[in-house]
Amino acid sequence: MHPPALQPTDVLVVPSALGELKIPLCRPLFIKASATDGVHTFGGKDLLVVDSRPQFAEVAILRAFEEAGWQGRWLETYPYRKNPRLWKAWHPDGPRAQVHVPIAETWVIEKLNAIAAANNNSFSGCWDVVAWKNDHLVFAESKKQKKDRMRGTQVRWLEAALRCGCAVEDFLVVEWSTA
């Protein structure tokens, strides 16, 4: 179900109001960008080599899905809790230079809106990447190994999605490190 580069090898146990949830987990190795002069780091995020230029892990994850025939977007919800930005790449000039790329598939938009409605009418906590292929939707969350952890808002999004018919297997934690 997942792209070859993001095959789960473990699970992340997430305590939730719905009980302990075992979320598929993969641990890919990405290449750290060395030439990063002039690239906005969006609050100090690590830059990786994606498409032969410095970008973020969210774009690397999105590319892994796209290379396996999926469509997708990086959903940026901060500070856009009610109307997230949908990106496919990172422009080096920073957040205001990003290109918003709407999702054309009605069923994907309807599912995202239903989850947001079940999440107190907010996209807050939506996982970083949403990808779809045929009639299957996956949410992937980028976490740098030994640095990041799941936040309460992300657990609440997960719970809202489960209440809207998604399965635990429709989620993927991408705990990445760099070479």
User: How far is Cα 52 from Cα 171, in angstroms, rounded to an integer?
Assistant: 28
Q: What average pLDDT does the structure give for the chain?
A: 95
Angle, helix 106-118 to helix 152-163, in steps of 10 degrees: 120
The pLDDT assigned to 99 comes to 96
Residue 81's pLDDT band, with cuts at 50, 70 and 90, is: low
User: How far is Cα 10 from Cα 156, in angstroms, rounded to an integer?
Assistant: 22
The pLDDT tens digits for 1-38 are 899 999 999 999 999 999 999 999 999 999 999 989 99
In sequence order, the 6+-apart residues with CB closer than 8 A to the CB of 121 are: 82
Domain extent, residue 13, equals 4-178
pTM across the whole model: 0.96
**Angle CA 89–141–50, to nearest 5:** 30
Any alpha helices (H) in the chain, and if so which ranges?
57-67, 106-118, 152-163
Question: How many structural domains comprise the chain?
Answer: 1
The pLDDT tens digits for 107-116 are 999 999 999 9
What DSSP line would sit under 72-118, residue for residue? Answer: EEEEE-SS-SSS-EEESS--TT-GGGPPP-----HHHHHHHHHHHHH
Residue 82's pLDDT band, with cuts at 50, 70 and 90, is: confident
The pLDDT assigned to 1 comes to 82
* Residue 151, SS3 per DSSP: coil
Smallest CA-to-CA distance from 60 within 97, 28, 38 is with 28
